[in-house]
Structure formats: C-alpha cells, structure tokens
Amino acid sequence: MITYILISILLILFINKYMFKPKGFPPGPGRIPLFGSLLFIPLIPGVFSMGADWFIKRYGKLVGLFLGEYPAVILYDLNTAKELFSQDNAAGRPDSFVYKYRMLGQKLGLLFNDGEAWKTQRRFVLKTLKDFGFGKKGLEGVLVEEADKIGDLFRSKQNEPFLVLNLFNVAILNVLWTIVANHRYDLTDPNAQTLVKLITDSIQVEGLRFLFAVPVSRHFAPEWTGWNKQQQVVGETQNLMRRIVEEHKESYQEDNMRDFIDVYLREMKTGGSPDFNDEQLIVNAMDLFSAGSETTATTLAWAVAFMILHPEVQKEVQEELDREIGDRTPALEDIARLPLTEATIMEIQRMGSIAPQAVPHRTLNEVKINGYTIPKNTFVFSMLYHIMRDPEVWIEPERFNPRRFLSPEGKLVKHDHFVPFGVGKRQCLGESLAKSELFIIFTRLIQQFTFTDSPDHPGPSPTPVPGFIMAPKPFYARAVPRL
C-alpha cells in the first residue's frame, strides 16, 4: 500500500512538472516529457518566424510553449517585446549547453553571456571599437575601399554572370578585421574564404533547434542534430582566434596600439580584473565576427536580389544618386539628401528579415506581462520577421515598396515596427556600423553598376532560405558598368 501511494505521488509530481504548464503561463501548444511542445507544432524550417500565422490564429501574439524541458515564450507583438525587453529581468541569455560549449564551458563574450560580466565586456568593447572608428566618419575610408574592391571584382567579370553566394562576406569581414586585428584580406584570398565558411557554418548548423530543446539527443543522434558539425566548427573557430591572439602577444608593443586585440591585451596586463583574460578575448572576437559579418553581407546579397527583381526601383535610386551625388564618392553625410536610397535600404532590410528572430532572452526572475506570468528562466524569442511583416501594421507587407518609408513630400519617415536590429537592452551593438556599411557599399555599387539577371542561370527569388540568418536562395547576377 505504501509503495502504491509513493508511486502515485511521484506520478502526480511527474505529470505536474512535465505535462502541465505553470499557472498563468501564456496560451500555447501542449507538452509531453522530454520533447516538450515540439511534437505539437509543425516541424518545418522557420516554423516560429515564417509560420507565425499558425501560432497567432490559435494562441494570439504571445505564445507559451516548452522546448524540451525549457519554458519558452514567443513574441509576435512589438509593444510586448519592447515592454518585456526594457526590463533587466528579461535581459538574460538561455543557459543552454549549446551556448556554453561555444563559450568554452563558461559565461563569456557578448552574444550569449549575461549579468555583470556581460555588462563589463560590452562597455569595454564598445568604447574600444569607437576609439578605432566604429560607427564614426574615421571608418568611412575603409568602407569606401572595400566597396571599390568589390567594384573591381565586378568589372573583372566583364559582364559575365556570377554566383551571388558569400559574395560580400570577405569585404564586410575586412571592415571588422581592420578594427579587431589590423588586417584585411584580398577578396579572393582562400584563407578569407575559409574564415567566412567557418562563420557561416557556425550560424547555419542544421538541427540545432532540436538539439537546443532536447540536449540528450546529441548522444544518440549527433549527426542529425548537428552536434558533430557544431563541435567541429566551434573548435576550428576557437583555434583560429586563439592563434591570432598568440600572434598579437608575440608582436605586442605597449606604445603602439594597433587594434582591438592589442587594447584588450593591455587591459589584461594593467587592468587587474580577472574578467579580462584569454578566453574572454577569444569568445569576444568570435562574437564580433559571427554577429557583425554574416548579417550585413547577407543584407547586401538581398540588395542585389531586390534590385534585379525590381529594376524600376534600381533606376529611381540611380537617378537620385546621379542628381544629388554625380560621379563623386558617396559619403555618410549624404544620407539626408538621399531619402529614396535610404528608404530602399530599409525596405531591403524589412523584406529580407535577415535575422528572423532576435537572439533569445532569458528571464532572470518571474515577470508579469499582458496579464500572464512568465516564470524565472524562461526563454523569450521575439519574431522580427513577423513584426516587420505584420498585416495589421503594414500595408501590403509582402510587396517590395521603399516608398512606405517616405512621406508624401518625399521625406524619410520612421516606422515603429521597423526593427531589424531588435529592441530593448540587448539590441544589436553593431547597429551603427551596419547602417554605415550598408549605405556606403550599396550606394557606391548602385552608382557604378546596374544589376541584371542572366537568362541562362537561376535568378533571384524573394523567398528566403529559412535559418538563423535568412539568406536568399543562390542566384546569378550580372553587374553592368555605368561609370
């Protein structure tokens, strides 16, 4: 009898913990042990972002579910995301073994770290990057140089079609590499291509969503879940960054701060804080390149795609550039006089939705929102893809229309739901650099070339390839010189 009672109690506790949801939790699909809610939702790529309608029709714009044993909340409403992410209690990062492995088993870096250690690193990194021209006019020359190198590469094609796949990655990598490691690569350098592939692979590993939700799956399905690939890519990237740091140590000179790594090494030597060490530096460098190169390069690939798909917009942008700039090199100070061009860049970002969801947050304490209770240690995802295509907010959201960002007088206007860099306390720290990169490189290339498709090769499609970074499907383009 006692055994029966004990088994019954344990069964009740098990069911309560692993099959019922916490009191006041937002509505959402059911859950079962081990898998959480995964078996109750469509298992298709991009289900949370591109499949937003499935969730919203059933549960609304605030959805509660379980990723394995982890409670999670999906946000499809901008105001809710702003309110929640403005709170310190929602500024954490998921305590996932996938992230910990990338952080050398510790809480390191900028992307997946939280707490005081993260704040300390973020402050130092931002200050140091700004000192080296990050987001300032001093970096403009580097951007123009990279844009012109891309232009030289296009001219070398002699109007022949080329594959727009990782086309801009090395140029964008060079901008960051100049600041972080005082080095640039030739656009066709095999070493640069290897580094680009590492960064791309680290972001786009297939199966990570399931691995994230069901960690035990790495033991019986390491290939299918992407765990083998993740270990390989992260290990190679860490080794590369470690080698670069060691090279800097060997050539370090106290009176000659060449780049971010040198300044960080100086802080390690003189600052006296244990928070500044080799491991932090390695993960910081990984985070800067992962977050800062792939996203902007993919946006530029989308820019080529949308200019080919909408030649009338490309022509209007070129006419504005011809009228306002002529044949001189565009500068950041020209943004104000090029409203249509800037609106076109914004529409490329909106339609491309390169980061369909912001990096997930974690609640550090219980949070109340919209009458619901979100428990401590809940993962929170904001779906930027839907927010920037919400039919309740945007007119004809699936139509490429830069003029949605212009007033009747042709002035650039802000749109609250245009949030390609996220919202809240953990908004992308590279926003200012990304905006500068996109403006200078896009305007310089559109000024010099007209992009067209090739009848004998696959052209661009507005439908993205689902993933952590939404890239266009591989396509070919021709760059016809104008100047």
Per-residue pLDDT tens for 319-333? 999 999 999 999 999
Q: What is the number of domains present in the chain? A: 2
Identify whether residues 370 and 452 lie together within a single domain: no
Nearest to 111 by CA among 354, 283, 279, 362: 283
pLDDT tens digits, residue range 169-221?
889 988 888 888 888 888 888 888 888 888 777 776 555 677 877 888 888 88
Do 334 and 292 share a domain, yes or no? yes
| Assigned domain for 360 exists | no
Determine phi and psi for 280, rounding to 5 degrees: -60, -45
Kindly report the pTM of this predicted structure.
0.92
Same structural domain, 40 and 109: no
Confidence (pLDDT) at 446:
97
8 is in an annotated binding site: no
Q: Is residue 216 part of a domain?
A: yes
30 with 98, same domain? no
74 with 113, same domain: the answer is no
With beta carbons less than 8 A apart as the criterion, state whether 79 and 393 touch: no
In a domain, 264, yes or no: yes
- For the ranges 122-136, 277-291, 336-350, 396-410, the lowest mean pLDDT is seen at 122-136
CATH number of 302's domain: 1.10.630.10
Q: Is residue 287 part of a domain?
A: yes
Assigned domain for 86 exists: no
Residues 237 and 376 both lie in one domain: no
In this structure, the answer to whether residues 425 and 404 fall within a common structural domain is yes
Contacts of 84 (CB under 8 A, 6+ apart): 75, 90, 361, 367, 369, 374, 380, 424
Domain that holds residue 48: 1-81+365-387
> What pLDDT, in 10s, does the model give residues 152-177?
999 998 889 999 988 898 899 888 88
List, in sequence order, every residue forming a beta bridge with 367; answer none if it has no partner. Answer: 374
Q: Is the per-residue pLDDT at 148 higher than 80?
A: yes
The pair of structure tokens assigned to 81 is 């995301």
SS3 label, residue 465: strand
Give dist(CA 115, CA 426) in Å, integer: 12
65 forms bridges with which residues in the sheet? Answer: 72
Alpha carbons 207 and 213: distance in angstroms, whole number: 10
Please give the structure tokens belonging to residue 442: 């896009």
CA 48 to CA 43: how far, in whole Å? Answer: 10
Six token digits for residue 452: 């067209």
Tell me: do 74 and 206 sit in the same domain: no
Same domain, 60 and 123: no
Does one domain contain both 340 and 399?
yes
Q: 105 and 202: one domain?
A: yes
Residues 394 and 252 in one domain: yes
Domain assignment present for 476: yes
**Each residue of 384-437: pLDDT tens digit?**
999 999 999 999 999 999 999 999 999 999 999 999 999 988 888 888 889 999
